[in-house]
Amino acid sequence: MKKLPLHIKIIIGLALGIVWAFLSSYMGWNQFTIDWIDPFGKIFIRILKAIAVPLVLLSIISGVSSLNDISNLGRLGAKTLGFYLTTTVLAVGLGLLLVNTIKPGEFVDENQRISNRIKYELWVNENPDVPKPKDGRSFLTDPQYAERVAAALGEGELDSLKQAANAVDERVEKLSQSANQTVDQGPLQFFVDMVPENIFNAFGNNGGMLQVIFFALFFGITLALLPNEKVKGVKDFIDGANEVILKMVDLTMKAAPFFVFALLAGVIAKMADTPAEVFQIFKGLGWYSLTLMAGLLFMIFVLYPLVVSALVKRITYKKFFEYLSPAQFLAFSTSSSAATLPVTIECVEENVGVPKETASFVLPIGATVNMDGTSMYQAVAVVFLAQLHLVDLSFAQQLTIVLTATLASIGSAAVPSAGLVMMMIVLTSVGLNPAWVAIIFPVDRILDMFRTVVNVTGDATVATLVANSEGQLKEETQS
């Protein structure tokens, strides 16, 4: 067992966690699992998050301060953002292609969809700021639906989705407040938010990673501009502290298989009390889940590895997964790009051969602004919800989704389910009810795990491509 590669041990941990969760639900041990096993999963995520911020700070300062020519930083940054925007637009475009081809919303009972449409139109009438549906149809004034409209008004059901949201009212309200705050911000608020008022406060803030990156870049550039004899002690301290943090990552990963087992067991135990309920969760949202999964798996198993193997000849399709699998499996179990970041950096540097100064610059930025999986999810989910309510989105509205989802992904925190907040913004941008996020709550946690794998794999792919374009990839790597 000791001789097995880490990624194989993590797979075993994942599998045992799922098996235990089903056994636990069948035997009625869910409370035991939640009380005595799940806390170890929480501890694991906390350790990784505790490591992530100092790792980002120290690795960026170390990498930038070691640059001989600061002008290279601008070129590196332009390439990084260019690659990230390209992969995000591709992800959104693929998601829209799949959801418009498969049309998962049309697999739901037609009568239910008609009722949904009527209640959607009632909601639009109640909210004068919301634009009328652009498909030109009006079910409220159509004689053939008069009885349904009367029934809806008589029962006082203004929106079936408000009823669904009532069960999770607190969660929807919090998401709504976050979305409204983001929408109300000015066009340059993103740049204002990048600059920390207090760098120590940024360390403890889920949305503060950009501020940490800004401070680290500023500190590193300033360090590089000063004469080496004056700052040698500071550089030695930064490099030494960085090595300590990397060793902490290594020690934590030795226990990763057990922690991953606890994490998966706890997640599934909280979702359902019986095995039947686990499967039931996917029943109503099956086609939506399958559509999104198809797109996410295409990104993981086709797009990223083929692009890398085509441009970097020594990294074959098989080696691509050998090099990155520890980070991918960890991303799946934690659903957090930020928590996975220390392991992503380790995989990219030690296995792929990306130099430290490039990996420490590209990957932290990617964990913050590059959310390919989240962007695809937003596109698929919004169109699915529109189909579910018999709302035909125009080509212009779908282009709006591409733009909004791309920009929203930049502001999406690298923590579990942050994409729900961003999706409310995307829904609002095309005149749909933001409370509809309540519909996809039941399957969001599982799908979030796959979305995070896409996000992390995309980050590693871009880091590899940037290093390759700079001629920096090492020829010999560790497998």
CA distance 330 to 11: 10
CA distance 340 to 323: 15
**Domains present along the chain, CATH in parentheses:** 6-155+187-470 (1.10.3860)
Which residues make Cβ contacts (< 8 Å) with residue 360, sequence separation at least 6?
56, 59, 60, 62, 63, 345
Q: Sign of the C-alpha dihedral, residues 345, 349, 354, 360?
A: positive
Q: What is the pLDDT of residue 445?
A: 74
Q: What is the pLDDT of residue 187?
A: 62
Q: What is the pLDDT of residue 205?
A: 60
The CA-atom distances, in angstroms, between 183 and each of 82, 266, 379 are 25, 35, 18
Q: What is the pLDDT of residue 326?
A: 92
CB burial class (10 A; 0-12, 13-18, 19+) of residue 469?
A: middle
Write out pLDDT tens, residues 33-92: 889 998 998 888 788 778 877 877 887 787 777 766 666 778 888 898 899 989 988 999
CA distance 208 to 195: 9
Residue 246 token pair = 């990397």
Where the chain has pLDDT below 70, the residues are 1-2, 7, 67-71, 152, 154-190, 204-210, 271-284, 407-422, 438, 441-442, 476-479
One-letter amino acid at 161 equals L
Q: What is the pLDDT of residue 201?
A: 82
Residue 108 token pair = 């739901």
CA distance 358 to 63: 7
